[in-house]
A and B are shown apart, each in its own frame.
Chain A
Amino acid sequence: MPFDVVAQQPKLLYLLQGVAAFAAVVSLILLALHRGPVRRRAAALVLLAPALLLLTIGLLVPGLRTLALSFTDRGGDTWAGFDNHVWMLTDHRALVALRNTLAWVVLVPLASTAVGLLYAAAVARSRFRAFALSLVLTPMAISFVGAGVVWKFVYAYRPPEAGQIGLLNRLVVAFGGEPRQWLVDSPWNVLFLIVAMVWTQAGFAAVLLTGAIRAVPAELTEAARLDGASPGQIFRRITVPSIRPTLLVVLLAQAVGTFKAFDIVKTMTGGQFGTGVLAHEMYDQAFRYGETGRGAALAVLLFLLVTPFVAHRLRAQRRTG
């Protein structure tokens, strides 16, 4: 359906009202600060108030409500104690989702950072750096849903006697193998989904790491070379230790992003064949099955799992910044 301005008029009007209200609030605050002598602390408070208010409405309240919902039953209105949490840690499918999520969180950051690092090391000092980087960044420009659809085709299965439409099976058949149902055979299908995620994420790692590698002082590598170090030694002993902070940031950012992996699983397998992850299982429980309590419990678990990563990142930022 094309975007119809007339049909969308009420929504646009709301938007306009929202923007106007926001502008009014900001002007009021600025005006209040402008008038008369105000203490610095009070001024900070006034300036922070809108952000705090929005955080409370948009983050704190829903978060607490989700926590409360995780203790309720299906409809979300009767107390159910720890039933949902017990279910989550004993149900076969929920455990499979947990196992898969852990596999994703370990493998995606490691694999995409490794691929990104090798790529960065190869192109950092090259003349075609800009071109090479834009090439590896292209998958990032594609949405996860788009990437999922593309990879679903790569793994497509057709019977041996028919023509293969999937790239991977086509290669397998060309080398004399039997076509396989890549997305169906558990647990390896989880790895094939992870490959799709790594494909979208490696570019991000490559770009950040290229920048970091270029920031390594040339004197250091030069001195190492004069001392007779091989390129491999320089990479291991000089480059990698020098870019350790960036490596860590990349790894953690990827890990946090991977916890929320949803789109690729939804488009490629819909969580079937034992490929579900927590975020997808949460969506299924809460919205498709109407099991609000279970969905909320999974959301809380996801939150708890992400927290250490975010906390570590914040601490690291405070140290460096």
Chain B
Amino acid sequence: MWSGARLALAVITLAVTATACGTPQGSGSRSRTTADCAPYARYGEHPGTEVTVYAENRDREADLFEETWADFAHCTGIDVRYEGDGEFEAQIQVRVDGGNAPDVAFFPQPGLMERFARTGKLKPVSAGVAALAKQGWSADWNSYATVDGTLYGTPLVSNVKSFVWYSPTFFRDKGLSVPRTWTELMAVTEKVAASGVKPWCAGIESAEATGWPVTDWIEDVLLRQQGTDVYDQWVAHEIAFDDPRVIKAMDTVGSVLKNDRYANGGFGPARSMASISFQEAGTPILSGDCAMHRQASFYADMWPKGTGIGPDKDVYAFLLPGADPANRPVLGGGVFTAAFADRPEVRAFQEYLASADFARARMRKGPFVSANRGVDPADAATPVDRLSIQLLQDPRTQFRFDGSDLMPASVGAGTFWKGAVDWIGGASTRQVADSIERSWPGP
């Protein structure tokens, strides 16, 4: 009896201690806001409800999201529970199959989202969200979240991938100007190479996603050489993966990336890019060991601390040029929200995420690009973000989504990446393109 009582006491003590430690963290996001609730009145009151969110963003990115919707959560009474997971792409399937789907998920690839829409797991958006989507985004952007005519989500994050990062100082010292056509770009490349510096640096190591920066390169060049129609057909597999036009684009990329005279600046021979993580790949620009690095707008976060970004700072970016300066093909990517539940509080939260208010609020917190028409480029946190938003809002821009994110995952996140790695490693264009074509899954 005595030992039983002692055990019970120990358990109670433990529970009390744990509760005391645990409580302050549980209510963290709600307690710090004393916001004006008027803008949130339209989302209604949902006291005591909970919405679970599952996405791949962690650490600072996750914190910024949570800070952005803290006011919304406070005013509507919805407890938004966010969970970030680096293994999102694989785990979302496991969770949905296991009957443990989140209420809302942030999908980094429309292809992945489509898989869940086709199996009937996702809920179509409400009329309210559909109206916001129509108002906020172009038909192109909405089409990525549309499956068989039904809209399943809205864009949350947008990014521009077709940037070439460079050092304005380096360009000035070498007497180079920002190229406006592909020919000028190759002239700059040759000029830098002749001066004894390898013009391009690249890194494609990214754990199991290793290879993706090369696939972006190929997509970008195909888009510039053949235009949007051929690009769309290629992504939808209406023309073969190893179509002669694709082979041509790959060979053009190869003449830069697989060329030991042009790459890999600061890291050694061209093949070295397989060992260099994409995050660190652009750093030789700062030391003058490399002139240009083609990478997305989000590369702004990957420069070492203290690097100034701007037209007259340490680094800046220009749009990868095409054959004709009048055309503005832009390759980009994005993250989409979609819901596995249609409870009123989930609807309200989805509606908030679809609003321009959310995009504006998130932009005020730090680097962020949204293709929403309602955001003002002047609010952008960095000059490159501003440039991205201007490009996305410009009606002359021909925006196309990252093709590997739209292809079936076994190609777009599998054989295309792996093929790109083999290709950089020395395999021939024909051999790699053929093997990717053969790997395309049947209907």
Contacts and interface: CB of A to CB of B under 8 A. Distances in A.
B136 to A, nearest CB: 29
Given A6-B23, A287-B90, A159 B210 contact: no
Nearest to B276: A157
Contacts of A183: 275
Contacts of B19: 5-6
Given A272-B208, A284-B414, A91 B93 contact: no
Choose among B208, B414, B417 the residue with the greatest number of A CB atoms under 10 Å from its CB.
Answer: B208
Interface in B412-427: 413-415, 417-418, 421-422, 425
A159 B267 contact: yes
A4 B25 contact: yes
A4 B207 contact: no
B410 A5 contact: no
Contacts of B119: 75
A74 B118 CA distance: 12
Interface in B274-293: 274-275
Task: Classify the interface of chain B: helix, strand, loop or mixed.
Answer: helix
Contact of B410 (A159, A283, A285): A285
A157 B210 contact: no
Interface in A258-300: 266, 270-274, 283-285, 287-291
Contacts of A7: 22, 26
A37 interface: no
A157 B211 CA distance: 17
A79 to B, nearest CB: 14
A196 B406 CA distance: 36
B425 A270 contact: no
A181 B271 contact: yes
B26 A283 contact: no
B208 A273 contact: no
Contact of B208 (A6, A284, A290): A284
Contact of A289 (B18, B211, B413): B413
B183 interface: no
B386 interface: no
A290 B409 contact: yes
B89 interface: yes
A289 B272 contact: no
Nearest to B17: A5
A177 interface: no
Contacts of A224: none
Contacts of A273: 274, 421, 425
Interface string A161-183: 10000000000000000000101
B415 A93 contact: yes
Give the contact-size bracket for chain A: 20 to 34
Given A4-B26, A270-B210, A272-B421, A288 B272 contact: no
A5 B15 contact: yes
A159 B115 contact: no
A160 interface: yes
Nearest to A83: B442
Contacts of B441: 74, 291
B208 A5 contact: no
B25 A93 contact: no
Nearest to A92: B435
Interface string A86-116: 0000011100000000000000000000000
Nearest to A179: B268
A181 B208 contact: no
Nearest to A8: B22
A288 B89 contact: yes
B207 A181 contact: no
Given A159-B272, A272-B211, A288-B89, A93 B418 contact: yes
Interface string B1-39: 000000000000001001101110110000000000000
A75 B18 CA distance: 44
Choose among A159, A183, A284 the residue with the greatest number of B CB atoms under 10 Å from its CB.
Answer: A159
A271 B268 contact: no
A184 to B, nearest CB: 5
Task: Classify the interface of chain A: helix, strand, loop or mixed.
Answer: loop
Given A4-B26, A92-B435, A284-B414, A181 B93 contact: no
Interface string B198-209: 000000000111
A283 B22 contact: no
A96 to B, nearest CB: 10
Contacts of A161: 268
A288 B418 CA distance: 14
A166 to B, nearest CB: 10
Nearest to A280: B208
B275 A290 contact: no
A157 B94 CA distance: 35
A287 B410 CA distance: 10
B266 interface: yes
Contacts of B211: 272
B409 A289 contact: yes
A24 to B, nearest CB: 19
Contacts of B442: 83
A260 B246 CA distance: 39
A181 B409 CA distance: 28
A99 to B, nearest CB: 16
A24 B207 CA distance: 47
B208 A184 contact: no
A284 B211 CA distance: 16
Contact of A272 (B210, B272, B408): B210
A47 B34 CA distance: 61
Interface in B255-276: 266-268, 271-272, 274-275
A272 B112 CA distance: 21
Contact of A290 (B18, B91, B93, B209): B93
A287 B94 contact: yes
A160 B353 CA distance: 49
A4 B23 CA distance: 8
A2 interface: yes
Choose among A5, A74, A274 the residue with the greatest number of B CB atoms under 10 Å from its CB.
Answer: A5
16 contacts: A5-B18, A5-B19, A83-B442, A92-B435, A159-B266, A159-B268, A183-B275, A184-B274, A270-B208, A272-B211, A284-B208, A287-B91, A287-B94, A288-B414, A290-B115, A291-B410
Closest 7 CB pairs of A and B: A270-B208, A289-B410, A159-B268, A5-B18, A287-B90, A157-B275, A4-B22
Interface of B: 15, 18-19, 21-23, 25-26, 89-91, 93-94, 112, 115, 118-119, 207-211, 266-268, 271-272, 274-275, 408-410, 413-415, 417-418, 421-422, 425, 435, 439, 441-442
Given A2-B25, A7-B26, A284-B208, 12 more contacts: A5-B15, A6-B22, A75-B119, A93-B439, A157-B275, A159-B266, A159-B267, A181-B275, A273-B274, A288-B409, A289-B409, A289-B413
